[in-house]
Amino acid sequence: MGGGHEKIRQTIDRLRREIEQHNYYYYVLDAPTITDAQYDRLMADLQQLEKENPLLITPDSPTQRVGGKPREGFTTVQHPVAMLSLANAFSDAELAEFDRRVRGSLGGEPYQYVVELKIDGLAVSLTYQDSIFVRGATRGDGSTGEDITANLKTIRSIPLRLHQPVDLLEVRGEVYMPKESFVELNRRREEMGEPLFANPRNAAAGSLRQLDPAVTAGRNLSIFVYGIGAAELSGHQLPTSHSEGLKWLEGLGLRVNSHCQLCRDIGEAISYCRIWQNKKADLPYQIDGLVIKVNSLAQQSALGFTMKSPRWAMAFKFPPEQAQTTVRDIIVSVGRTGVITPTAVLDPVFLAGSTVSRATLHNEDIIREKDIRIGDRVVIHKAGDVIPEVVEVLKDSRTGGEKVFSMPAACPACGAEVVRATGEAARRCTGAACPAQLLEGMIHFASRGAMDIAGLGPAVVAQLTEAGLVRDVSDLYSLTEEQLLRLERFGDKSAENLVRAIAASKENPLHRLIFALGIRHAGERAARVLAEHFGDLDRLMNAGYDELITIPEIGPKIAESIINFAREPQNRALIERLAEYGVNMTAEAAPASLSDGPLKGKTLVLTGTLAVLKRDEAKELVEQAGGKVSSSVSKKTDYVVAGENPGSKYEKAVKLNLPVLDEQEFLALIKPVL
């Protein structure tokens, strides 16, 4: 091996060690030692070196946390030691009975208990071989679970390599979603009209069972490891107690919960349970009780198991916390994407650590299903210990004076029409100039696939809106350098560059403007098709539903969204203002690439990393050549363009005997449009 190659390998090893050490500080110890920008730089350096030296990529590299290809399904894994569930206790008396059985079975031997928080998540098994994380699985039926290794690798609090040498180690842990992440995930799903998760546990389980690891990676999951399933150590002795085992696991770099108490008897254990029953709302994650375990591993072995659960452990489950109150009003708010959300205004009531005076009702279907009326007496709880929610209406308490609620026909923020698309639960404001949607709408308008205004990122958009310089996207075109120079972090050059970039965007092709307007369901491809078909924005805004659905690739959802958008007066007014500022409203004559291009009517799939083109550049070239890009390979696929590390799409193409092009062959094919 040459000296240069060896130096590269050493650099890669050093970067991996640094990155994993920083992962440990950030995700396990919650004590970061570098900035996010510094961390991103280290990761970028490692990714570049591995790209240039693919033979040096190893399974435990930090770059391998997020797999690049979705899986077709999960295979099963046999657990080396059964992952049994725990028996439950709901009262002090039941815990005392558990202690009586332990005492009797141990025949007078002294014993201690360890009491831990019972994290409300999904139980998993992690297997390390020669200190490398090689497999992760769900509990399943206790004997076999599902192999979710790729998804577990995306959780940065799970080390890919242990801090100390271990021949073989299988540990058990609980994957969970923090409360804040649960709230944010449900907010995004609500705005997209997707079903909500009932609690963080369901959200964590659903995230771990995604076939695409990239989806799991975006869900901000974490883990606490709570026990050893199986272990093989050369020249080392295993811990002899559960409490020692937790410290040993922590020393290996695994994340262990710090809230753990060694108790002399069941009385101390019960007291510790009561402390956390009152404090659980203070935690950033959800717990549904505590687990009491005999500390000595030898005594655990002597106590043994039933068919379903260990005899040496018991879960103390908290009773559900609920309260009764009265619905005084139902009000609505407008979200960042225009979703109209109803909220119940309640008589204040103390629940799960805080005073609750409002509860989300999500959408009109929930109100109708539960028959919630203004004036009703209701039972509430906190979904996931976080979100106040109406559980049920106490209909026997009705007096006849309760009022049925109806969703508004107009947006409370801007007065635009509110519509409910076919098949969706949410109602949305159709106003493109709605102040409640201003921030997100402007970020989208300036984004790369839309008007592509360099320098107009989220932070600058926030500055402009907070300073009152923009009330809708048309105001961008009246900005001056003098106005920008009054804002923080703007100098002569940055102000000049932004004003120039905004002015340049006026010349963008029509399809970019159509996409930038944020018409629901009308993505980049649909915008191109619409621009080609109508030729100018005015014709599109006056198109009828019947004409729209006859256009290839424009289905009923897109057609309905365009009609809703076009009939809103404020949207028409916005387009008029953009036209007055000189923003291009017409398409160039349809180029040969769209009508008679070399890929006319062809469907292509892109897979792997291309050396010359970025993925979105390749996609744009396909569309300019008259073709379309699909995300999946099928018998209807005409070509598969394969770069480095093409994965399962390439394998499926070969299996189906489809034409596979490398990048140079692809470029030669579309040469007429280059």
Q: What residues are annotated to the active site?
A: 118
Q: Say how far apart CA 638 and CA 424 lie, in whole Å.
A: 34
Residue whose entry in the numeric block shows the structure tokens 């497999």: 135
* Count of residues in the chain: 674
Tokens of 658: 């489809």
Do strands 603-607 and 639-642 pair parallel, antiparallel, or not at all (unpaired)? parallel
Q: Which ranges of 425-568 does DSSP label H, i.e. alpha helix? A: 438-446, 458-466, 481-485, 492-504, 510-516, 524-534, 537-541, 545-549, 556-566
652: Cα separation from own chain's centroid: 28
Q: Say how far apart CA 172 and CA 225 lie, in whole Å.
A: 6
Residue whose entry in the numeric block shows the structure tokens 């008007």: 451
Q: Which ranges of 106-235 does DSSP label H, i.e. alpha helix? A: 149-152, 179-191, 200-208, 213-217
- What is the C-alpha R_g of the chain? 30
Q: Say how far apart CA 641 and CA 670 lie, in whole Å.
A: 12
Which DSSP string do the residues of 448-473 spell out, in sequence order?
TTTT--TT--HHHHHHHHHTT--SSG
Neighbours of 222 (CB within 10 A): 23
Q: Which ranges of 252-315 does DSSP label H, i.e. alpha helix? A: 266-279, 297-303
DSSP state of 25: I
Neighbours of 200 (CB within 10 A): 28
Residue whose entry in the numeric block shows the structure tokens 């300019």: 624
Neighbours of 479 (CB within 10 A): 18
Tokens of 613: 């083109």
Do strands 313-317 and 88-89 pair parallel, antiparallel, or not at all (unpaired)? parallel
The pair phi, psi for residue 588, each rounded to 5°, is -65, 160
Neighbours of 636 (CB within 10 A): 9
Integer distance in angstroms from the first to the last C-alpha of the chain?
42
User: Do 561 and 571 meet the contact criterion of CB atoms below 8 Å apart?
Assistant: no
Of 472, 498, 471, whose CA–CA distance to 483 is shortest? 498
List of residues 6+ apart from 71 with CB closer than 8 A? 150, 211, 212, 213
Neighbours of 396 (CB within 10 A): 6
Report the SS3 class of residue 447: coil
Q: Is 278 exposed, middle or buried (0-12, 13-18, 19+ CB in 10 A)?
A: exposed
User: Do 269 and 102 meet the contact criterion of CB atoms below 8 Å apart?
Assistant: no
Tokens of 286: 């959800």
Q: In whole angstroms, how far apart are CA 436 and each of 208, 338, 567?
A: 34, 7, 20
61: Cα separation from own chain's centroid: 23
Q: Hey, which residues does 316 pair with through a beta bridge? A: 89, 290
